Chain A
Amino acid sequence: GAVVSQHPSWVICKSGTSVKIECRSLDFQATTMFWYRQFPKQSLMLMATSNEGSKATYEQGVEKDKFLINHASLTLSTLTVTSAHPEDSSFYICSARPAPGDGHEQFFGPGTRLTVL
């Protein structure tokens, strides 16, 4: 099956610093990538949808200036948490969808645990 990787798998940073998380589709081209946030024992909350070469579409309530998303190629999307604060600590998951017509399946990365001190 299709594989999606995320890097890093976990990161600890100081308050006020920025953190970049990479999401890569390893064996397919992803026309669309999604970024989710998951709090402990809760569901996945969609943060934004990104299509290669265009600006990301953010969900209501998600600060686009704080969570910068770049989808520069068909295999790479990045999420940068700028000026991170303890309340940004969470589990971030990306997913990637191949070209349309493939049953709408998303392939998920293993997630990144962010802890902001």
Chain B
Amino acid sequence: AQTVTQSQPEMSVQEAETVTLSCTYDTSESDYYLFWYKQPPSRQMILVIRQEAYKQQNATENRFSVNFQKAAKSFSLKISDSQLGDAAMYFCAADSGGYQKVTFGTGTKLQVIP
């Protein structure tokens, strides 16, 4: 089985500042993928960033980056220069290849304060 835990139900950040969202996971697989998804009020799920477990280098997508600590099974998301449009629910997710399915965390609601 695989589990994903997000311990921060809500977070807030001042516009233009940096915020980090936490996520831990557990899986018995050696080959897996980790994701951060954003769900704005429209409820459309949007992929923010993806990390392959076999890659040691942390993934980066513009203002979004991750801190992937494989031994600690931690996968945090850093949002730099936060913008009002970043306000949304953020879900951490794990996909262990053997299960052919994605497990989502409970989500973190991010508020961006102007």
Contact = CB atoms under 8 A, between A and B. Distances in A.
27 contacts: A32-B100, A34-B101, A38-B43, A42-B106, A42-B107, A43-B91, A43-B104, A43-B105, A43-B107, A44-B45, A46-B101, A46-B102, A46-B103, A49-B100, A49-B101, A91-B43, A93-B45, A95-B45, A103-B52, A104-B33, A104-B95, A105-B47, A106-B102, A108-B44, A110-B42, A110-B44, A111-B43
Interface string B31-60: 001010000001111110010100000000
Contacts of B35: 105
Interface of A: 32, 34, 38, 42-44, 46, 49, 91, 93, 95, 103-106, 108, 110-111
Contacts of B100: 32, 49
Given A104-B33, A104-B97, A44 B104 contact: yes
B50 A103 contact: yes
B interface majority secondary structure: strand
Main secondary structure of the interface of A (DSSP, over half): strand
* Contact-size category for B: 20 to 34
Contacts of A46: 101-103
A95 B45 CA distance: 9
Contacts of A42: 106-107
Nearest to A45: B104
A32 B101 CA distance: 10
A103 B52 CA distance: 8
A38 B91 CA distance: 13
Contacts of A91: 43
A51 to B, nearest CB: 9
A111 to B, nearest CB: 5
A111 B91 contact: no
Contacts of A106: 102
Contacts of A108: 44-46
Contact of B102 (A34, A38, A110, A111): A34
